[in-house]
Amino acid sequence: MLTPQIADKGVTKHILRAFDLHASRRLGQNFLISPAVVRAVVEAAEIKEGDHVLEIGPGIGTLTQGLLEAGAEVTAVELDKKLPAVLAETLHGYEHFSLVQGDILKTDISALMGTEPFKVAANLPYYITTPILLALLEQKLPITQIVTMVQKEVAERMTASPGGKNYGALSVAVQYYTEPEIVLDVSPNCFLPAPEVDSAVIACAIRKTPAVTVKDEKLFFRVVKAAFGQRRKTLSNALKPLGVSKDMIEKALGEAKVDPGRRGETLSLKEFASIADGFAE
């Protein structure tokens, strides 16, 4: 059985003390201290010997060690300038680890990872979860799986179905590109320091083709954004910011067989696609 040694409260405290580090709130640093959770991420990512993995925010190397022990070749991007020196120690002896110090949102992931398929594994910094996920999905990188720790509330938004309060633009984007599944609920005491929110591990298998076919992807996402931009408004009003006439909105909704009195939060991906295709014409 995989036994990642860094995933332990005493070890983590010792490493932080030895390097005179204090977990940074600003950088969303909540280090994993549960070996069971590390194992769950590694298992959900179905890591096999030689798999290429991009890890976002390796911290002191807790999840990284689990991935490396399972045989992955890990490329990690970490923003905190103090952590490369720590990782050089904590992951000393692991050959298949490389580190880039920088901001994942400013990193050319395509240049870093190349054209071969790769997986993404992370315990994401919560202050930028959504921009990171959208960047990974929208760049059409050769990613096969994204397995990550997120706030439980975000995991519920990612997997939400139409009709509920959790269903929004993030649900549509994630479900358009992937098949998301919550694999584990994680309590605050699995981290040091403990975050104020519950967390969950979510696995997103990237679809070979998007969930729905659309004529114009950019337009599809503009329609989604407009529909959820003013959630409480009916579609006939919420779609006005798209800059199209009332007649056109009614025509597109009519062709899509969607009642103009409905709200965006009730629409399936298929209905969003039909409306966007109506505008594309």
Told to check if 34 binds ligand SAM by CB under 6 A, we report no
Number of Cβ within 10 Å of residue 202's Cβ equals 25
- Whole-Å CA distances, 12 to 61, 192, 220: 10, 8, 45
Are the beta carbons of 216 and 229 closer than 8 angstroms? no
Question: Which residue of 40, 44, 47, 56 would you call a contact of ligand SAM, by CB under 6 A?
Answer: 56
What is the rounded CA–CA span in Å between residue 275 and residue 272?
5
Q: Which is nearer to ligand SAM, 154 or 275 (CB)?
A: 154
- Whole-Å CA distances, 251 to 36, 59, 226, 264, 278: 54, 52, 17, 17, 8
Q: Tell me, residue by residue from 154 to 193, as one string, x for binding to ligand SAM by CB under 6 A and - for no binding.
A: ----------------------------------------
What is the rounded CA–CA span in Å between residue 89 and residue 91?
6
Asked if the peptide bond before residue 193 counts as cis, ω within 30 degrees of 0, the response is: yes
Told to check if 265 binds ligand SAM by CB under 6 A, we report no
* DSSP codes, 260-274: TTS-GGG--HHHHHH
Q: Which is nearer to ligand SAM, 138 or 259 (CB)?
A: 138
What is the rounded CA–CA span in Å between residue 227 and residue 145?
29
Q: Tell me, residue by residue from 60 to 79, as one string, x for binding to ligand SAM by CB under 6 A and - for no binding.
A: --xx-------------xxx
In the region spanning residues 123 to 142, those forming contacts with ligand SAM, defined by CB under 6 A, are 123, 125, 128
# residues near ligand SAM by CB under 6 A: 22
What is the rounded CA–CA span in Å between residue 36 and residue 180?
21
Q: Which is nearer to ligand SAM, 123 or 175 (CB)?
A: 123
Q: Which is nearer to ligand SAM, 66 or 264 (CB)?
A: 66
Q: Which is nearer to ligand SAM, 56 or 155 (CB)?
A: 56
Told to check if 58 binds ligand SAM by CB under 6 A, we report yes
Q: Which is nearer to ligand SAM, 26 or 208 (CB)?
A: 26
Q: Which residue is nearest to ligand SAM (CB)?
A: 57
The residues that touch ligand SAM, with contacts defined as CB under 6 A, are 27-32, 56-59, 62-63, 77-80, 103-105, 123, 125, 128
